[in-house]
Structure 1
Amino acid sequence: MNDIQSKIEKHPLQPFLPANARLLMLGSFPPPRARWSMEFYYPNLQNDMWRIYGLLFFGDKDYFLEKGKKAFSRERLVAFLEETGVALFDTAMEVIRQRGNASDQFLEIVTPVDLEAVLERIPECKAIVTTGQKATDTLLAMVRVKAPKVGGFSDFEYKGRALRLYRMPSSSRAYPKPLGEKAAEYRIMFHDLGML
């Protein structure tokens, strides 16, 4: 194995693709395992994705936190996402971390997601949302669509299928926007899709 191959990190999670999914959320790549609070997407307690969902759908930013633990509840999340029709995966299958952290800025994507294979498994999906700049740039390299502004969307066609691409603000706390403001942008998307 050469030096580059030894640095390649493979995606540690299977795609989460409920059969009824209407929305596919694509991040970039999970953080290093040392930052995980659970075996699922957006596992870092410093990431606000599940606080955004808790605030929007339950009026409680801590809804998906495990009581008395420093962890999100994978079981509660899976049940909610299956019922709501939200699929999760990332735009990268293999990466090299230029630094040993979770920052997209230092993430080199070696192998992007096989978008066609993922979408084939969720035939009811009508929209894709990217949750950061790296995820957006990676997806834009695969599909012909005008880049939406943060908080906006662009309609496009992919393999004969009409889809909408939403670009939401990053849920990372490194992205300098208060939780309530991020949630307000996600609220518009969920209303558009009839999910909220």
Structure 2
Amino acid sequence: MNSKYKEYKAPYILEKHPFEAYIPEKAKTLIIGTFPTRKENRKFEFYYANEKNVFWDILGKIFNFQFHFDEGMKAVNERKEFLKDNLIGITDMHLLCYRRKGSSSDEDILHIKLQDIFFLLSQYPSINRLILTSRTEYVGALGLLKIYFMQQDKFLEIPQSATKLIKNTFIYEERTIKIFVPYSTSPKVIKDYGFDSILDMYKQVFSD
């Protein structure tokens, strides 16, 4: 077999999402990301476990909560309890995907099977707000949600914005669901836009 062909094929690895959606009873908010960082980057087996991602720092600031554990099951349990106390659920859009070259970038994760968001909304009728944690067209959480809508023979119209908090609504089972898309909390975006600008966006999300 041609060595160049081997080099082309090898970087793509099939991955199944490593954990279930976590949605407490009576959750009002559902946070939706794309896919977890690669295992060697994770400090604990739960969402946003890369120590360079400021997701949990942002939520801690908003809810005036200090996380005491940064790794292992104590970190997982502490974050689950925090989400439960604040009626927040969390999941990702990818259930099954190809990851390219071990990258955690959305651009290098190719979807095969997407999370069934409508099923989750039906199972948890108290949810009235979705927070999508990335906005890149086609590969970010917002882009993947649009693809999911198309798969369900529906259309989600949300104008893109490079600089503003994205907001919109849609109707599902006779209830209004709000959508918010702040900047990503990834290290690259923090470097480009700063912690405070992302914190301000998330404050708007939880105050609206």
Distance 1:9 1:40 in 2: 16
Q: Which amino acid aligns with 1:12?
A: P
Q: 1:47 to 1:18 in 2, by over 3 A?
A: same
Distance 2:40 2:168 in 1: 36
In the other structure, the counterpart of 1:102 is 104
1:147 paired with 2:179, answer: no
Q: Give, as a single letter, the amino acid of the residue that structure 2 aligns with 1:77.
A: R
Query: Do structure 1's residue 41 and structure 2's residue 44 form an aligned pair?
Result: no
Q: Aligned pair 1:50/2:61, yes or no?
A: no
Describe the superposition over 1:131-157 as per-residue Cα deviations: whole angstroms up to 9, x where unpaired. 012111000123333225441310111
How many Å separate the matches in 2 of 1:137 and 1:65?
34
Shift of 1:70: 5.9
Counterpart check, 1:166 vs 2:166: no
TM-superposed CA distance for 1:27, in Å, is 0.2
Structure 1 regions of 5+ residues with no counterpart? Answer: none
CA RMSD of aligned residues (A): 2.1
Work out the percentage of aligned pairs sharing the same amino acid: 23
Q: Choose 1 or 2 for highest CA Rg.
A: 2
The offset of 1:117, in angstroms, is 1.8
- Quote how far apart the aligned CAs of 1:85 are: 0.6
Closer, same or farther: CA 65–45 of 1 in aligned 2, 3 Å: farther
- Structure 1 residues 31-78: Cα deviation after superposition (integer angstroms, max 9, x where no partner): 1111111111111101110010111111x7xx2242xx6678222211
Cα distance per residue 1:138-190 (max 9 Å; x no partner): 00123333225441310111344321111111010111221111011000110
1:8 & 1:74 partners in 2: Cα distance?
25
- Per-residue Cα deviation, 1:91-148 (whole angstroms, up to 9, x for no partner): 1101101221211111101111111222222110001111012111000123333225
Q: Are 2:32 and 2:132, in contact at CA under 8 Å, matched by a contact in 1?
A: yes
2:67 paired with 1:64:
yes
Aligned to 1:120, what secondary structure does the other structure show? helix
Give the partner amino acid of 1:11: H
Q: Paired residues, what number? A: 184
Give 1:20's aligned residue: 26
Contact 1:27-1:130 within 8 A present in 2 as well: yes
For residues 45 and 138 of structure 1, what CA distance do their matches in structure 2 show?
25
Query: Matched residues in 1 for 2:171 and 2:78: separation?
Result: 34
- d(CA) in 2 for partners of 1:73, 1:180: 24
**In structure 2, how many angstroms separate the alpha carbons of the residues matched to 1:10 and 1:165?**
26
What pairs up with 1:68-83 in 2 under 5 angstroms? 73-83=75-85
TM-score (norm 1): 0.86
Partner of 1:156: 170
**Which residue does the alignment assign to 2:14?**
8
The aligned counterpart of 1:179 is 195
Deviation at 1:12, TM superposition (A): 0.4
- Runs (5+) with no aligned partner, structure 2: 1-8, 150-154
Which protein is richer in helix relative to its size?
2
Cα–Cα, structure 1 residues 13 and 123, in superposed 2: closer, same or farther, change >3 Å? Answer: same
Answer whether contact 1:19 1:121 (CA < 8 A) is retained: no
The one-letter code of the counterpart of 1:177 is Y
* Preserved contact between residue 145 and residue 155 of structure 1 (Cα < 8 Å): no
